[in-house]
Structure 1
Amino acid sequence: MSDIVVYDQVGARKPVRNFVMEWNEGVPCTVRQLIAERVRHEHEKVHTDTTGLSPNEIVNLPNLFLFDKISAEEAIEKALTAFAKNGFMLFADGRPLSDLDQMVPILPRTDVTFIRLIPLKGG
């Protein structure tokens, strides 16, 4: 098994570790698959039963109202469209990923950073 460590970054801020995905060693991975797995993970977090979670865990769940109205597959399509329209950037071990069908080299540990772009004021 390989670990894909997912980081989130907003604009020029420092990346923050979000979660770790396990990936089968030797199985190829495309940018499209990487984004889809990320969205599925977030969608599952939103639809988690909060019974038994600590207050800290509940506070750290994503905004529930954003995902309730769409399925995981619809959320994946929106994320793929956003990537295609440069809504966010994606890096694997510091290398930019630019095409949905681009292969992502998965090592025993691969760091992946999703960077949300922020529009400049006045522009």
Structure 2
Amino acid sequence: MKTITINDETAVGKILNQIEIEVRNETITVRDLIKARIYTEVEAYNQKPDNRFFGLIQPTMIEAILNNSETKQKRQIDAEKQFYIALDAFTKNGFFLLVDNYQPDSLDEEILLTDSTTVSFIKLTPLVGG
């Protein structure tokens, strides 16, 4: 097992969030890397008492409203649903990855992981009127 550190970064390189994921093999597809990241952060969120979720893919507006209901009962986030939203966002350029300063562009592209591999997720914000 390898432990990989994943950074959420701004376009100028400022680290906003950092998580660690466990991977089994030396190679992993972009799709499986995204899946490992999503499932790790959703599992961590679902197990903690805090209601705030800082993952790559945010819950929908309805989920957010339901989580802030008067009962303050925290709802569980569906990891599989978040995974498919993340895949869609990747294919529509909602975010991109940098793996050791290389930008993979396909979900099926394989990445070689070493002890020094750095992975960054950079979320893109569409410009209004652009």
TM class by smaller structure? 0.7 to 0.9
Which amino acid is the alignment partner of residue 112 of structure 1?
Answer: V
Name the % identity.
32
Does the CA contact (< 8 Å) of 1:5 and 1:109 recur in 2?
no
Bigger CA drift: 1-10 or 110-119?
1-10
Partner of 1:41: 40
Does the CA contact (< 8 Å) of 1:25 and 1:108 recur in 2?
no
Does the CA contact (< 8 Å) of 2:46 and 2:76 recur in 1?
no
Partner of 1:82: 89
Work out which structure has the larger RCO, using CA pairs closer than 8 Å and 6 or more positions apart in sequence: 1
Distance 2:36 2:25 in 1: 16
Distance 1:89 1:24 in 2: 23
Ranges in structure 2 where 5+ consecutive residues have no aligned partner: 64-74
TM-score by length of 1: 0.77
SS state of the match for residue 98, structure 1? coil
Partner of 2:71: none
Could you tell me how far 1:105 is from its partner in structure 2? 0.9
Task: Pick from 53, 57, 73 the counterpart of residue 62 of structure 1.
Answer: 53
Could you tell me how far 1:116 is from its partner in structure 2? 0.4
Ranges in structure 1 where 5+ consecutive residues have no aligned partner: 51-57
Does the CA contact (< 8 Å) of 2:97 and 2:104 recur in 1?
yes
> Are 1:24 and 2:24 counterparts?
yes
Aligned pairs, how many? 114
Change beyond 3 A, Cα 1:3–1:12? same
How large is the Cα RMSD of the aligned pairs? 2.5
